[in-house]
């Protein structure tokens, strides 16, 4: 295991990207071009920018769902850009929770079994995982739906289930890609408040959003991407 001193960035950083470039196809403009940025432990950072500016690409690289073409990605003290598939899957299960615009729940599993899935994949004991799932469902106000199927739930309730699932393994980092994009304004605000409460309790959070109100209200810092680059390096969280 690498020690903190062996990896780039300050000790308090949960995320550190150095000169990260991602090109999906050779010969076309890269989706991300030489991005350097960091997010500190306990911080909530919003990522904004026009459609196609590279927001989801950035989140996927931080989540270890994809690898950069060049540059280094360090998350939770570990260099993840050079990990193989198996190591990357283990890294994701342990250190990162991610929620999406359309919830991505499995319709043929109950709410509780959806939440338990990442714990199962991480090899956690069923007993411990059920206790943790119960605690999260209660905290998110959806414990009475534990044995229901996602199809019966409202959008806001489904996103709460997705948040519980993302947090079941107590990851250092919660990533959210347009978490309110499929919700009405009032429900979106509820989810925003919920994410903000989680952050107040210490959860580091990166929030991709098109919604300036959500970013302004809940994120201490907004990083704006334009054409795959950080528009203002002063917002990147690293000494420029
Ligand atoms: N899997 C892929 N293969 C090829 N090109 C891709 C892939 N994913 C994204 N791109 C391209 O990379 C660029 C950045 O896409 P990305 O999805 O990161 O943008 P975004 O900022 O999340 O946009 P949106 O706000 O619409 O979600 C776009 O030009 C997109 O077409
Ligand atoms: Mg996107």
Distance between alpha carbon 38 and the CA centroid of its chain, in Å? 14
Q: Is residue 70 within 8 Å of 144, Cβ to Cβ?
A: no
pLDDT tens digits for 51-98? 999 999 999 999 999 999 999 999 999 999 999 999 999 899 899 999
> Which of 82-86, 113-117, 158-162, 236-240 is predicted with the least confidence, judged by mean pLDDT?
236-240
Greater confidence (99 vs 6) lies with: 99
Which pTM value belongs to this model? 0.92
What secondary structure letter does DSSP report for 109?
S
Question: What's the maximum distance between 2 C-alpha atoms anywhere in the chain?
Answer: 53
pLDDT band at 2 (very low <50, low <70, confident <90, very high): very low
Q: How far apart are CA 2 and CA 16, in angstroms?
A: 15
Nearest ligand, measured from the Cα of 177? 2
Instruction: Please state, in angstroms and rounded to a whole number, the distance separating the CA atoms of residues 160 and 114.
Output: 12
Q: Is the pLDDT of residue 4 over 60?
A: no
Q: What is the per-residue pLDDT for 239?
A: 62
What is the reported pLDDT for 206?
97
Angle at 88 between CA 176 and CA 65, to 5 degrees: 40
For residue 206, the CA-to-ligand 2 centroid distance in Å is 13
Give residue-wise pLDDT tens across range 15-60. 999 999 999 998 889 999 999 999 999 999 999 999 999 999 999 9
Does the pLDDT of residue 6 top 70, yes or no?
no
Domains in the chain: ranges and CATH:
4-235 (3.40.50.300)
Ligand 1 centroid – CA 70 distance (Å): 17
Binding site membership of 5 for ligand 1 (Cβ less than 6 Å): no
Tell whether ligand 1 has an atom less than 6 A from the beta carbon of residue 55. Answer: yes
Query: Which residue's alpha carbon is nearest to atom 3 within ligand 1?
Result: 24
Q: Is 203 helix (H, G, I), strand (E, B) or coil?
A: coil
Residue with the smallest CA separation from ligand 1 atom 1 is 24
| Residue 24 CB–ligand 1 contact under 6 Å | yes
DSSP structure string for 162-197: HHHHHHTT--SEEEEESTTTTS-HHHHHHHHHHHHH
% of residues, the chain, pLDDT over 90: 85
Mean pLDDT (the chain, rounded): 93
Mean pLDDT of 204-223: 93
Looking at ligand 1, which atom is closest to the CA of residue 210?
25
CB distance 150 to 161 below 8 Å: yes
- Percent of the chain with pLDDT strictly greater than 70: 95
Q: How confident is the model at residue 240 (pLDDT cuts 50, 70, 90)?
A: very low
Q: What is the pLDDT of residue 27?
A: 86
């Amino acid at each position: 295991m690498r020690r903190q001193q062996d990896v780039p960035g300050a000790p308090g950083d949960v995320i550190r990207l150095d000169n990260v470039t991602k090109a999906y196809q050779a010969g076309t403009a890269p989706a991300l071009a030489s991005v350097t940025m960091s997010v500190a432990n306990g911080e909530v950072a919003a990522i904004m920018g026009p459609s196609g500016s590279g927001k989801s690409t950035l989140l996927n690289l931080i989540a270890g769902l994809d690898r950069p073409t060049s540059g280094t990605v360090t998350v939770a003290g570990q260099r993840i850009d050079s990990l193989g598939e198996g190591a990357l899957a283990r890294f994701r299960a342990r250190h990162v929770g991610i929620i999406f615009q359309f919830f991505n729940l499995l319709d043929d599993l109950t709410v509780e079994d959806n939440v338990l899935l990442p714990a199962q994949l991480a090899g956690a004991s069923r007993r411990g995982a059920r206790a943790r799932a119960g605690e999260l469902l209660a905290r998110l106000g959806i414990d009475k739906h534990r044995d229901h199927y996602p199809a019966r739930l409202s959008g806001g309730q489904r996103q709460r289930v997705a948040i519980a699932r993302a947090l079941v393994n107590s990851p250092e980092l919660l990533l959210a890609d347009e978490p309110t994009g499929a919700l009405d304004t009032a429900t979106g605000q509820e989810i925003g408040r919920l994410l903000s409460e989680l952050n107040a309790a210490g959860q580091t959070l990166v929030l991709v959003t098109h919604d300036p109100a959500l970013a302004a209200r809940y994120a201490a810092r907004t990083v704006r991407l334009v054409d795959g680059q950080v528009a203002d390096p002063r917002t990147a969280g690293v000494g420029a």
